[in-house]
Structure 1
Amino acid sequence: MGHARLTAALIALAAALPGSATTLTTAEVLAQSAPQEWKEIPADRLLVMDIERGQILLELAPEFAPEHVANIRILAGQGHWDGLAILRSQDNYVVQWGDPNAEKPEARRALRQAKERLPAEFDRPVDGLPFEALLDPDAYAARTGFSLGFPVGRDADNQRTWLLHCYATLGAGRDMAADSSTGAELYVVTGHAPRHLDRNITTVGRVIEGIEHLSSLPRGTGPLGFYESPEQHVPIRRIRLAADLPESERPRRERLDTHSRSFRLLIEARRHRREEWFVNPVGRLEVCNVPLPVRTVAEG
C-alpha cells in the first residue's frame, strides 16, 4: 500500500474509533485501557542494573539483535559487570559503562563463555514483525512506527527495519569495524535523540524504569564526556537478568501493547493535545516523543 493510501486509511481508522483522540487525553487513554492490552515483560528479557543511586530496568530486544542479546544474557549470568563502572556521561548524549581496563589485555576482565566478536546487527528484515505506523514524516527514515514495544524505522524499498535512537535507547558500543561489538560495553541515550546513530550501531533495547539514575549523573570532563580519573567512575553493584534473581527480588513490569487499540488512541492523543494547558494542540508527532507506558504488574 502506498504511503498516501496508508495515511488515509490510518486517519480513517483513528476517526472511527469510539471516544477517539478528538476528546481523550493521554491520561484518559491509559485510564480506559483494557487489562489484556498490557503485556508482561518476560523475566529473561528484563535486565536489572543496580548502582548506588538506585535500580535501572532495561528491556532487551532479541528480535532485533539476537546475537547481541544472547551475549548480554551470558555476560549478565557470569556477573561480568559486577564491580565495573559507568565510565562516561556526556551532556545531552549518552551514559556508557563497561570495563575501565578494556584496552589493557593483561588487566581487562575476560568474557569467558561470551563471544569475543559479534556481527553488526544494525537492522533486520521486516518479515514476521508487526508494525504500528506513525503518520508523520521523519527526517531519518522513510517510515517510522512501533514494533513489539519499541520505536522503529522502516525502509520499504529494501524491506529492512531497525530500532531508533530515542531517549532511553540501549545500545552496544563498538570500535571502527562494524563487527567489533561484544555487548560488554553498553550505553543509554540520555539526551535529545541522536538519530544520526541509527543503523550505525547495534541497538539492543531500552530503559523502562530508573532512567533518572543515569541522566542525572555528573558530566564527564574528558573528551566525549568520559570521566578523567577512576575516582569519578560510578561503580556498578550488579547487573542480572530478572530471570536469574530470586523470586523475592524479581521486578515484574508490563507495557502497553504497541499494537493495541489503546496505543493507537494514545498516538492520536499525543498528536492532538487536548489537555487544558495547551493553546495550540500541535497536530503532528515525532516518533521519539510517543510515550511507551510501563507499569508494575499487580499482585494477585
Structure 2
Amino acid sequence: MAPMRPLLLVLALASLPCAAADDAPPKGRTMQEVLDASQPSDWRRLDPEHTLYLELDSGRVVIELAPAFAPRHVANILTLVRGKYYDGLSINRSHDNFVVQWGDAEAEDPKKARPLGEAAAKLPAEFTRPAQGLAFTRLPDVDGWAPQVGFAAGMPAARDPEAGLAWAAHCYGTVGAGRGGPPDSSNGTELYVVTGQSPRQLDRNITTVGRVVQGMERLSVLPRGTGPLGFYEKPEQRTPIRAIRLAASVPEAEREQIEVMRTDTPTFEALVESRRNRRDDWYLHPAGHIDLCNVPVPVRATTPAKD
C-alpha cells in the first residue's frame, strides 16, 4: 500500500478548504467610490465672512481663513482687506519647493510703506491654541512631528494631549503670516502659501491663518525668485495683486460656487482609509499608512445658495 500514500496525500490536500476569493480581505472603496456615495450633509459651503479671493491677472485664488487657530490675526487680515491694504501690492517671493509670499515690497522704508489704516501693527503670536474645545478628527497613523495629527476646523492639524495644545500644520496650501525674529512680529501684512514639500518644522513657529482651497495652480507655477530665499530682485519680476476681496463683499453671482468636504464625518474617515490602503487595481501593495499632508480635502462645484 505504500505506493498509494502520495496519491492519498494529494486527495487529502484537495479536500481541505482553500483560500477562496470570498475569504480574501474585502476590497476597500476607492476615493471616487467614497465621493460618489457621499451625502449632502458630508459637505459644507465656505463661510463668506472668512473666505478671501486673491485676484491675480491669471485668475482667482480662494483662501479659507482659520479663526479657530488664529483669531487675532484673522481679524487683522479682515481689517486690512476691508481697507484695501493688499490691492495693488505684489507677490514678492517664490522659493522653490517652499513658499510664495506677498505683501508690501516697500515695507522696510517708512517713507514708502503702505499705511495700515485701522489694522493693528503688532499682534501676539498665535502659534498654538488650547486643545480643549476643538473638535479633532484624528488620523490612525503615527506622525514624526506631533503626538497626534488629524483635522480640525477644516485644517490639517496636530495636538499634544499632555500639553493640552493644538496647532495648524504646514501642509501644501497652508497660509501663514510671515514674521521676523521676535515671535510677535507678524500682523498679517506679509502672507505666504506653502507650495512645496510640507515644511512641518515651521509648525508652532509661525502663525497659520488659513489654507488655499482653490487656485493653487496659479501660485505653484510662478517663476522662482532669483534672489536669496527666492525673493525677486527686480520689480518687473513680481506678480501684481489686483485685489484681495472678502467673499461676503462680492455679489453672489460673482462668488465661487463650491463646497468643501467636512472633515468630521464617517465619510471623511472612509476617504482617509481609501488613501491609506489604496486598493485600486493598479496598486499591488497597499501602504497601510498615510501622512497628514497627503490627505486630500475634496472640493466640488455646486449650485448657488438659495435665500
Is the shorter-chain TM-score for this pair beyond 0.5, marking a shared fold?
Answer: yes
Matched, 1:167 2:172: yes
Partner in structure 2 of residue 118 of structure 1: 123
Max Rg structure: 2
What is the CA distance between 1:115 and its match in structure 2? 0.3
Distance 1:220 1:276 in 2: 41
> Do residues 282 (structure 1) and 287 (structure 2) align?
yes
**In the alignment, what sits opposite 2:148?**
143
**What does the per-residue CA deviation read over 1:200-247, in whole Å, with 9 as the maximum and x for residues that have no partner?**
000000000000000000000100000001010100001011011122
1:244 is matched with which residue?
249
| CA distance 1:150–1:258, change in 2 (3 Å) | same
CA shift, 1:294, in A, is 1.4
Alignment length (residue pairs): 281
Q: Percent identity?
A: 52
What is the TM-score with the length of structure 2 in the denominator? Answer: 0.89
In the alignment, the residues of structure 2 paired with residue 53 and residue 24 of structure 1 have an alpha-carbon distance, to the nearest angstrom, of 37
Aligned partners of 2:207 and 2:92: how far apart in 1? 19
**217, 236, 255: which one pairs with 1:231?**
236
User: In the TM superposition, what is the alpha-carbon distance from 1:283 to its structure 2 partner?
Assistant: 1.0
Q: Does 1:202 align with 2:178?
A: no
Determine the C-alpha separation between the residues in 1 that align with 2:256 and 2:183.
34
SS of structure 1 residue aligned to 2:109: coil
Q: Aligned partners of 1:247, 1:35: CA distance in 2, in Å?
A: 21
What's the counterpart of residue 9 of structure 2?
A: none
Displacement of 1:248: 2.2
The Cα of 1:253 is off from its aligned counterpart by 2.5
Counterpart CA distance in 1 for 2:53 and 2:205 is 26
Q: What corresponds to 1:96 in structure 2?
A: 101
1:198–1:21 distance in 2 versus 1, CA, 3 Å: farther
Tell me what 2:261 maps to. Answer: 256
Cα 1:21–1:284 change in 2 (3 A) is farther
Q: Which residue of 2 aligns with 1:16?
A: none
| Contact preservation (8 Å) 1:21, 1:265 | no
Q: Does 1:87 align with 2:103?
A: no
1:211 is aligned with what amino acid? M
Which amino acid counterpart does residue 152 of structure 1 have in structure 2? A
**Matched residues in 2 for 1:40 and 1:213: separation?**
22
Q: TM-score, normalised on structure 1?
A: 0.92
